[in-house]
Amino acid sequence: MFAKTLKTTLLTLLLTTAAYADDITLLATMGSKAIFQVNGQKKTLQIGQMVGGAKIISIAADSAVIENNNGRQRRLGLGEGYVAETQKQSDGDGSLVLSPNPSGHYLADITIAGQTQRGIIDTGATHLSMSSKTAETLKIDYRSGKPALTQTANGVIKAWLVKVPQLKLGTVTLYNIDLGVRESNDAGPILIGMSTLNRFQMKRDQDLMILSKKAY
């Protein structure tokens, strides 16, 4: 039932965005081989083989790393799904289909200036936000932004509000996104808040989160 619903959802997205994608889910690993479900069909594959529109880079006891046609790598845990595009999307459109991780959170890649970090979808956060340590890794000149204060579990700390000229959420390019940077050395995930999410139409299909970029 889940696979049928997912295939119906993906077909709708393909017709809407004129993109082509493969639905890939890691089901099990067996040494140097792994069992994937690709567009509803089970396949046993090994390192170096193609799984849908992606290539298998490595296989571990509870995960596998795949690489899409854009050279981007993605680690899949057991039971985790991924939509691998077989054609590049233009900046003007795009959709993401996200599956929850074992903790029930939705994760997506954030790419800024060619550097990619994992982020967690947080509809309760006003801005895309990260620690100053992460911002430095991404070479963001956050100290030139607007000074602010933010409330954390450890009290009120210094922060900055800056605007990122261009970034990618997954494969979708976005422009002029407000970013909050808190003064902290923690290496926790980036919080993908509403300054990013409001660029998308959001909907749920069972446990899937579907983000479709709005047309402006």
Per-residue pLDDT tens digits for 124-170: 999 999 999 999 999 899 998 999 888 776 778 899 999 999 999 99
Looking at residue 92, its pLDDT comes to: 42
134 contacts 191 by C-beta, under 8 angstroms: no
CATH class belonging to 94-216: mainly beta
**Angle at 65 (CA atoms; ends 63, 67), nearest 5 degrees:** 155
pLDDT band of 208, cuts 50, 70, 90? confident
Domain with CATH 2.40.70.10 in the chain: 94-216
Which strands sit side by side in the sheet containing 63-68, from one edge to the other? 50-51, 54-59, 63-68, 73-77
Looking at residue 88, its pLDDT comes to: 44
Looking at residue 69, its pLDDT comes to: 67
pLDDT band of 80, cuts 50, 70, 90? confident
> Does domain 20-88 fall into CATH 3.30.310?
no
